[in-house]
Amino acid sequence: MKTKREDVRNIAIIAHVDHGKTTLVDELLKQSGVFRENQEVEERVMDSNDIERERGITILSKNTAVYYKGTKINIIDTPGHADFGGEVERVLKMVNGVVLVVDAFEGAMPQTKFVLRKALELKLPVIVCINKIDRPEARPEEVIDEVLELFIDLDADDEQLDCPFVYASAKAGYALVELDDSPKNMLPLFETILDYIPAPEGDPDADTQVLISTIDYNEYVGRIGVGKVDNGTIGVNQDMVVVNAHDPERKEKVRISKLYEFDGLSKVDVKEASVGSIVAISGISNISIGDTLCSPDNPQAIPFQKISEPTIAMQFIVNDSPFAGQEGKYVTSRHLRDRLYKELNTDVSLRVEESDSTDSFKVSGRGELHLSVLIENMRREGYEFAVSKAEVLYKKDENGKLLEPMEAAYIDVPDEFTGVVIEKLGQRKGELRGMGTSNGGYTRLEFSIPARGLIGYRGEFLTDTKGNGILNTSFDGYAPYKGDIQYRKQGSLIAFETGESVTYGLFSAQERGTLFIGPGEKVYSGMVIGQNGKAEDIELNVCRMKHLTNTRSSGADEALRLTSPKILSLEEALDFIDTDELLEVTPENLRIRKKILDPKMRKRGIK
């Protein structure tokens, strides 16, 4: 018989990127007494890896648990970026309700719509938390209307529309039920969670079923499956069978060797867990997302939606430049292969395929950000390799017609820049779907555009809008191929010989375009050292010294002034490279180079 387990609540915190999910979780942890009074806690304690902390984004969903009035609240902090949307979809299978965080100034954004749609489809109750109400330009009343309109757009039923609103400042550590209440602490949010989010229910006496929704990885114990106990109880040393709804053939006998529950920021060993508990299970070597752990007597897989397919791919290639092996610790194809396959342990939206050459691997992911985070992680770990320009993954329909992935792009720009954005996206086969006014002199544009049309556009977009534009995208299915797009109008400046760059050589080179390097840097023949102002590639000798003569001329000793070079970040470099170029990635440097380094061979290749 199904019973409710009143001492547990399972919630996910969902929102658009940067609306304050992780900071909110911090406050819930602090105010529920997880930390000692005098304990020093770093900000955004849930963002555990370096890249998450530096960029201020959440990449992997995280589990934590707090206690309030004797009830255990399991909280899952989810990513907000579209590239990691797959994480959000799966996590929602573990919870009985969500807290939707919306910025009191920005209001409902594209990713808010994406995550809310997923929650409503699963019939999950929603608590709306209007965050950052202490921002000077906050407009909470208008944002409530926007959120309710979004609910109506997404066909929410009456029960879902009747959701509670809570107003908060996660940074200042308080939540309010009414806007004119006096701010004290987070208790109003805790109370709302207890009142409004249903307790998990299941049959504790039935056969055990645990659906694995996320995978953690640990050097010592290998893969750890995280999931919710839907029925029955699970205990250490219990014999189980692993089955999967999408793979009817799969039936693997396993034994539970270790079982953990979450408590604050740590995992705690438990002997057994029953209905509604979120548990972590280690000791099953090839457990994966979507697997169901069942009792051997009656193995029934729990249905589970398929993980979203990758839309773009890059080649990861062993570095073969003249400087290969000088800066990295791991440089061989075996190192590269092992590292990429290890990534598959935790990242389910990633695909790695071997190619005809042993030195090159095709890596497919959900977007440029998804792959650039992997590249950045690898270079920090001491890997050295090269990557090609991102390409989109095409499909064929039943009539053999070519289909390509499309994106819905939502753009907020100051009114004076709308013309240039519409023109640029038009050249990239973007189609304007809607245009409206946003708050504060901004225009909201909505485009349908091929995914390849956005590759390399973000940097240009920031330049065109003087850093004031906001560009958000979400995957919008496949559509017939829209025709060729020209990526880059300008050519590259290429180093002519190997050596060290000299001020004299760079001085004459800078008249040709924008340089990416300064004096005293090692260069090699075929390396790209800048962007040409015109369309063709030019080879330049930047290692050239000035000839010494025995006559003194009047201007000889005047100092040569160099403009400072444009140093490209990893994303900018990935955006900049063209189809005949590679990006050489080492722990110390990012160098752009031509695929064919030898100038004669390169010219033949063009012909």
Known binding residues: 18-23, 131-134
Per-residue 3-state assignment (H helix, E strand, C coil) for 51-85: HHHHHCCCCCCEEEEEEECCEEEEEEECCCCHHHH
DSSP assignment of 262-330 equals EEBTEEEE-SEEETT-EEEEE--TT--TTEEEE-TTS--PPP-PPPPPP-EEEEEEE--STTTTSS-SB
132: left (phi over 0), alpha (psi -120 to 50) or beta: left
Q: Which pairing describes strands 97-103 and 8-15: parallel, antiparallel, or unpaired?
A: parallel
Six-digit token string for 465: 């809008």
- Alpha carbon distance 98, 571 (integer Å): 33
Number of residues that this document lists for the chain: 607
Neighbours of 171 (CB within 10 A): 16
Q: Which run of H or of E encompasses 487? A: none
Q: Are 359 and 347 in contact (CB under 8 A)?
A: no
- How far CA 539 is from CA of 27, 508, 530, in Å, comes to 56, 12, 10
- Radius of gyration of the chain from its Cα atoms, rounded to whole angstroms: 27
Sequence-distant (6+) residues with CB within 8 A of 340 are 316, 352, 361, 363
What is the number of H-type helices and E-type strands within the chain?
Answer: 15, 37
3-state DSSP assignment of residue 86 = helix
Helix (H, G, I), strand (E, B) or coil at 339: helix
How do 538-540 and 492-495 pair as beta strands? parallel
| Cα-based angle 462, 468, 472 (whole degrees, multiple of 5) | 70
Which DSSP symbol is given to 590? E
C-alpha distance across the termini of the chain, in Å: 75
Maximum CA extent, the chain: 102
Known binding residues for GTP: 18-23, 131-134
Q: Dump the DSSP string for 527-579.
A: EEEEEESSSS-EEE-TTPPPPP-SS--TTTTSPPPPPPP-PPPHHHHHHH--T
Angstrom distance (rounded) from CA 226 to CA 293 = 11
In angstroms, the CA 166 to CA 164 distance is 7
DSSP letters for 354-406: E-SSTTEEEEEESSHHHHHHHHHHHHHTTB-EEEE--EEPPEE-TT--EEEEE
